[in-house]
Amino acid sequence: MSDTQTVTTWYLEQTSPADLVPAREPESARGAADGGDGGDGVRIVRAGVPSPEFSRFLYASVGADITWTDRLPWTYARWTAYLERPLVETWVAYENGTPAGFIELNGADSAQGDTEIAYFGLLPAFRGRRIGGHLLSYGVARAWDIAERWEGAAPAKRVWVHTCSKDGEHALANYRRRGFRVYRTETEQEPIVPTPGPWPGA
């Protein structure tokens, strides 16, 4: 049995806020600022307090069946340091008060005008119900206006993301539907990495 796999990675970008093609919202969608209690429908809210426990839960739960492994070995301290960086934001979709998925933005290269969609996805039980397209549309819009929430940050000039053949089968098409364009493709052999599990006590 081979201990490597062939992985294709696509890099995609938008170069103007006008590139974003919003998805149709679920009928039960509610805005993050509508003043509701989060108990009904779909809402998208920014996780305003850096929380390694919550972010690792989202990462591990969304990525468990699509081979997200790169952050599984991260220590609590590394998660904390990353989440406390300026221009790192986590936006979470909730359905009836339950976390359904997340989109993580990283504007660390804002000096060059770049904001990255670092991670995006839904927990398996919430896929196929138009929540993903809505969350991605909302998250990309927040990537474009990220500088408005961080003092001294430069306005975004480009929003980019990469996805690979290990991700969900609809990931590439979903990004393209939202107006992203492929600007680079890479194919390489990667080791098959076992899941090491959480840090003690997680």
Query: For residue 118, what are its two tokens?
Result: 């670092």
Q: Indicate the DSSP class of residue 200.
A: T
Q: Quote the domain boundaries for residue 45.
A: 38-158
- If phi over 0 gives left and psi between -120 and 50 gives alpha, with beta otherwise, what is residue 87? left
CATH of the domain at 141: 3.40.630.30
Residue 120 lies in a domain: yes
Predicted local distance difference test score (pLDDT) of residue 25: 84
The number of distinct structural domains making up the chain is 1
- Using an 8 Å Cβ cutoff, are 116 and 130 in contact? no
Residue 170 lies in a domain: no
Predicted local distance difference test score (pLDDT) of residue 36: 41
Predicted local distance difference test score (pLDDT) of residue 97: 95
- Using an 8 Å Cβ cutoff, are 167 and 119 in contact? no
CA separation (Å) from 201 to 3, 58, 60, 152, 168? 30, 17, 15, 38, 29
Residue 107 lies in a domain: yes
- Do strands 88-95 and 42-46 pair parallel, antiparallel, or not at all (unpaired)? antiparallel
Buried b (16+ CB within 10 A) or exposed e, 152-178: ebeebebbbbbbbebbbeebbebbeeb
Strand intervals (E) in 39-180: 42-46, 88-95, 98-106, 114-122, 158-164
Residue 101 lies in a domain: yes
Residue 190 lies in a domain: no
What band does 68 get if pLDDT is binned at 50, 70 and 90? confident
Residue 65 lies in a domain: yes
Nearest Cα to Cα of residue 202 among 66, 75, 65: 75
pLDDT tens digits for range 124-178: 999 988 899 999 999 999 999 999 999 989 899 999 999 988 787 788 999 999 9
pLDDT tens digits for range 19-67: 999 998 887 665 544 434 445 689 999 999 999 999 999 999 998 888 8
What band does 108 get if pLDDT is binned at 50, 70 and 90? confident
Residue 44 lies in a domain: yes
